[in-house]
Structure 1
Amino acid sequence: MRTDTLVCVLASVIVAVRAAPIDIAPDVVVAGAPAWKRDIDTSDGAPAWRRDITSSTPGAPGWRRDTSTSPGAPAWKRDVDPSDGAPAWKRGVDHTDGAPSWKRDVDHTDGAPSWKRGVDHADGAPSWKRDVDHTDGAPAWKREVDHTDGAPSWKREVDHADGAPAWKRTTDSAPGAPGWRRDTVSKPGAPSWKRDADIAASGPPSWKRVTDTTPGAPGWKRSDDSTAAPSWKREIKVVPGAPAWRRTEESSP
């Protein structure tokens, strides 16, 4: 009798335990389809979902991982320090991945066509608005934060080197040929190109140069320490790279 009673008691306990709900700790990751990692506060979705920094599981392309995560499929989201993936895109911790017009952090290098955007800037067509220090991609145009982009007569900041057609203008410039703007002290030249006050009118096709700039191909701008390279824009300490790319000291070629 005692044995039967003990068996009944044990059976009741087992049934009760099986029926009890399982309490999963908040930090426990729940497995999902194609190895998706889910955090308590994270919503699941298509590729490129945002997940917790310290508990991401590798999965489909675009997933976010922890700092120590190795690069994976194209466009995977990584922490600030990891290497970039597809077209060398770099993302910040809180940034969401997307199409070639994704929004990235100020110091991040964009992919499609090497555009760079600031944190609060909205991406758009080739006339996108960017941060002051950012170099644009399509035809290497550079704009200031408050400048509105437009047709070949776009407005730029005073110190920015424009490319062909829509060369450098300043705020007080007068309209010129095909809508080009000129500085008040600029001298007219070949197709109304903009010139600096110290540039001689008899120089090569009236290319725009800064005071210490070395002449180059049309529209090139160089600083004191720059070397000639097909229309690349450089700062004093900038490393040359692909056409029209602009990099800082911390940037890779």
Structure 2
Amino acid sequence: MHHFFADPQNINLENNTIHILGEDVKHIQKSLRLKEKEKISVADGSGKGYLTQITSLENDLVVVRIIEEMSSQEKLNATRTLYQGIAKGSKMDFIIQKSVELGIDNIIPVITEYTVVQLKEKDTDKKRQRWQKIAEEAAKQCKRFALPTVYPPVSYAKAVSEHIDQNDGSLHFLAYELESDTSVKKLLSEISIEKYSNFGIWIGPEGGFDDHEIKLALDAGVNIVGLGPRILRTETAGIVLLSILLYEMEI
């Protein structure tokens, strides 16, 4: 069954109808060639999803009737954020796609000391919109009800100062290739997971993090962890760390 997102303003629970607008209209009619009476699932982007049936196909609008609310297998009691050092070329696209498939809720591109990509101010929003589109398509593919958000790029120092608060129920992990003493499994065995509701994953770009960035993270209360004896690429490290957390913590 095909899956789509609709703006909550276009979901009318009183008369059990949803209006689907924008690019999805063309996709439904031209690419998928769906017809009236066919069923699709529609989510509001905030965690609610509905089984629906197409009732009307117009040039710029698809109307569906809500059959029933669907239950999600996602755990919405925890927020998962990826702080990703901006990677070169299509690597960033891959990172966003796969992290969304694995359950990331927020993606914050981070400009670090070793970031090679130079984003011009006039192109920043266009790039963010493109990344957001990739996240949305990945969320559709794996039928998520909550739509992940890609935020504008920020400097590493700003990300640390504005997004880490040891008193807000957050637990942060930074993957560092030179960390050999603390693994994710060892760290999780020493803390009480239940008291945390927000989880942050910090991944460096090609070249990783420099010493000053590691110190900033430590001073802010971030947990520095190793991912094993092999050096992982930036597009692999986040997927590995997130997969470990999903398995060990069931977040």
TM-score w.r.t. structure 2 length? Answer: 0.25
TM-score w.r.t. structure 1 length? Answer: 0.25
| Higher normalized strand content (fraction of residues) | 2
Higher Cα radius of gyration: 1
Q: Which has the higher contact order (CA 8 A, sep 6+)?
A: 2
| Higher normalized helix content (fraction of residues) | 2
